[in-house]
Amino acid sequence: MFYVYLFHSVTDEGFYIGFSTDQKRRLLEHKRGASLATRFRGSLEIDLL
């Protein structure tokens, strides 16, 4: 099963939509800055999960 999530960047007011089969692992990767797609966006808030 895939999980779809939407992040809102507090820094640049942008949005990022992602999906993963392992939701907890992927969210931790984003928080640690391990994802190139969201690393530069600063603080992220989950808008939809």
Each residue's pLDDT tens digit, 4-46: 999 999 889 999 999 999 988 988 898 898 988 888 888 888 8
8-state DSSP, 12: T
Whole-model pTM: value is 0.75
Eight-state DSSP code of residue 36: T
CB-CB contact of 7 with 30 (8 Å): yes
pLDDT of residue 21: 95
Answer for the pair 10, 42: CB distance below 8 angstroms, yes or no. yes
C-alpha–C-alpha distance, residues 36 and 49, integer Å: 20
